[in-house]
Amino acid sequence: MAKKQITRYGVWQEETARFGKCWCYRIRVADSDGVLKRKAASGFATKAEADAAVARLTLDTRARKHGIEVSKPLKSPTVGEATDAYIRQKEAQWESDYGADYLHRNKAQLNPIRDWADQAGRDRLLTTITRDDLTAYVLSETKRSVSKSSIARRINSIIAAINHARDTNVDALAGYRSPKRPLGKDVSAGRMRILTPEEIKLLTTALAANPANRDVLDFFLIALGAGGRFDEIVSTVVRKQQTSGIMWNRIHIKAGTIDLYAYKTKKWRTILVPAVVELLMKRKAEGLGSATHAFAIRDHNIRKTLETISTECGIPYGRKVEGGWSPHDLRHTCLSFLLHSGVDIATVRDFAGHASITETSRYVHATDSSRLLAAQASASLINRAMDLSD
């Protein structure tokens, strides 16, 4: 007579045909009619997961026995639900702040978020997304020859979408943490470039040689002196509230200051730049700019002229060109020069409109002159030590 196989109950670990070595459970619990029934499952990676599953079944059984209504567990949103909600919120914000035309022109910027959702799996629970998913996206974009800085911006948008889901699903995502950026915090450092004094002189001379380049020359000098972002100096797009670009009524002649509005931070800041104010007043006296703004030239005309002049001067231009510079590097050059000139980093932070000194520190670039200064300081320290030893 065959020996009767003993049925196991509880939680144990064994080798299964479907999942391999895993944790399993088999218990008896009462169904809605009060009849005892067997419940079994396997495939748990840890004993804690199996114990948690058994605890949930036991809790439901006791609740039904005593007539307690058990609330359904909160369900994590899917990747598709999270990204769609973030895109709707972003589109509504843009239309409210900048107008329908701005939204129409810029809504394509949100496409990378949709592409990532498709790649990661729109039906996946957001809580299953890890850093590995972002790393896979980085690799796929790298194979498509997308620049590292562009990938970093897209990753930031994806994480913003995840954080938006956490903010709007506080209970369901209470224990979920957004994955860390696979590219690290200093990814933007590779695209920073500062102009040397020789390059600045070449470009200024070439621009000044042609009166038709007057607007571009003034932009070059003012961006270099104020260290502002492009749209803080020249309006780059038409918005419902046209506060970007330097405005005449935001220039304070006696104080030697100008007010700059950053759409990136949505904040005004006032900087002390008498030399820049002098240039701006000269423009106004000559009737340049518009009735409200110091510059009426379009941003693409400035970029095109700078590219042409740079080529004539033999200076690489363009972010995708090795060693090339772009208008934003005038900001890098200004802030780096301030730091190398001995201006403390807290003052430079306020001048730049940064939220923290950490962000300002990314704008510090070593130059030949700063390396020479470090070498001289090092030699001076050794000489002083040797004098003391005599």
Q: Are 99 and 239 in contact (CB under 8 A)?
A: yes
pTM of the complete model? 0.61
What local confidence, expressed as pLDDT, does residue 239 receive? 55
Task: Specify the CATH superfamily of domain 197-370.
Answer: Intergrase catalytic core (1.10.443.10)
Task: Report the distance separating Cα 146 and Cα 138, nearest Å.
Answer: 9
Q: Where are the domains of the chain?
A: 10-65, 79-191, 197-370
Could you give the C-alpha distances from 262 to 100, 104, 108, 265, 340, in angstroms and in order? 20, 21, 22, 6, 25
Task: Report the distance separating Cα 158 and Cα 267, nearest Å.
Answer: 24
What local confidence, expressed as pLDDT, does residue 186 receive? 46
What local confidence, expressed as pLDDT, does residue 187 receive? 46
What local confidence, expressed as pLDDT, does residue 99 receive? 81
What local confidence, expressed as pLDDT, does residue 153 receive? 85
Phi-psi region of 121 (alpha: psi -120 to 50; beta: other; left: phi over 0): left
Residue written as tokens 């690290």? 184
Could you give the C-alpha distances from 308 to 206, 311, 334, in angstroms and in order? 10, 5, 22
Task: Report the distance separating Cα 104 and Cα 98, nearest Å.
Answer: 11
What local confidence, expressed as pLDDT, does residue 188 receive? 46
10-residue stretch averages of pLDDT, the chain, 390 residues long: 65 88 88 80 86 83 69 77 92 83 85 92 90 89 84 89 88 81 57 85 95 95 93 74 82 94 84 94 94 90 95 91 90 88 88 85 66 71 68
